[in-house]
């Protein structure tokens, strides 16, 4: 799992952990994560969108196993982390207008304050940060 990155504005780690969820890597996972996020954040629109993209990528590209998600919050940052047991590194692609997928990393780059991915011996974690609404 990635270590929290320092928040440059308030000097704290990227937030206290406010929730953790482990779930099966199947088609229901993105919907379950969106519902789970709403229990922590009132206006979770962008958070739900990006989390859904990251979780969907874990379901599609990770092994059929367990996905772990963590939500962290500080006064300046909301951080979402998704870990699967895969060893791949996320790579973007140029989706055609008619493609139904292939835009997740583009959305992360456009909407997140920052994001990254780390692969360790036990899996891959993709995380992103947003300013709280």
CA distance 58 to 124: 9
pTM of the shown model: 0.82
CA atoms within 13 A on the CB side of 80: 26
Tell me: pLDDT of 46 over 90: yes
Tell me: pLDDT of 5 over 90: no
CA 10 to chain centre: 22
> Which two tokens mark 11?
């000097």
pLDDT single digits (tens) 64-118: 789 999 999 988 899 999 999 888 776 666 656 665 665 567 888 899 999 999 9
Tell me: pLDDT of 43 over 50: yes
- Where residue 128 falls among pLDDT bands split at 50, 70, 90? very high
Complete DSSP assignment for the chain: -PPPPB-TTT-SBS-EEEEEEEEESSTTHHHHHHHHHHTT-SS-HHHHHHHHHHHHHHHHHS-SSEEEEEEEE-SS-EEEEEEES-----------TT-SS--HHHHHHHH-SEEEEEEETTEEEEEEEE---
Residue pair 32/23 in contact by the 8 Å Cβ criterion: yes
Tell me: pLDDT of 61 over 70: yes
Q: Which range among 25-29, 54-58, 92-96 shows the weakest confidence by mean pLDDT?
A: 92-96
């Amino acid at each position: 799992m990635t270590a929290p990155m320092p928040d440059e504005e308030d000097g704290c780690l990227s937030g206290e952990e406010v929730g953790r969820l482990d779930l099966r890597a199947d088609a229901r996972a993105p919907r379950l994560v969106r519902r789970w996020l709403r229990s922590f954040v009132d206006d979770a629109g962008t958070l739900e969108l990006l989390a859904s993209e990251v979780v969907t990528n874990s379901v599609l590209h990770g092994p059929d196993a367990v996905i772990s998600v963590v939500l962290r919050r500080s006064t300046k940052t909301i951080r979402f982390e998704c870990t699967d047991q895969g060893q791949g590194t996320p790579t973007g692609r140029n989706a055609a207008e008619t493609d139904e997928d292939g835009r997740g990393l583009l959305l992360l780059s456009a909407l997140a304050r920052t994001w990254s991915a780390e692969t360790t011996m036990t899996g891959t974690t993709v995380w992103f940060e947003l300013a709280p609404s």
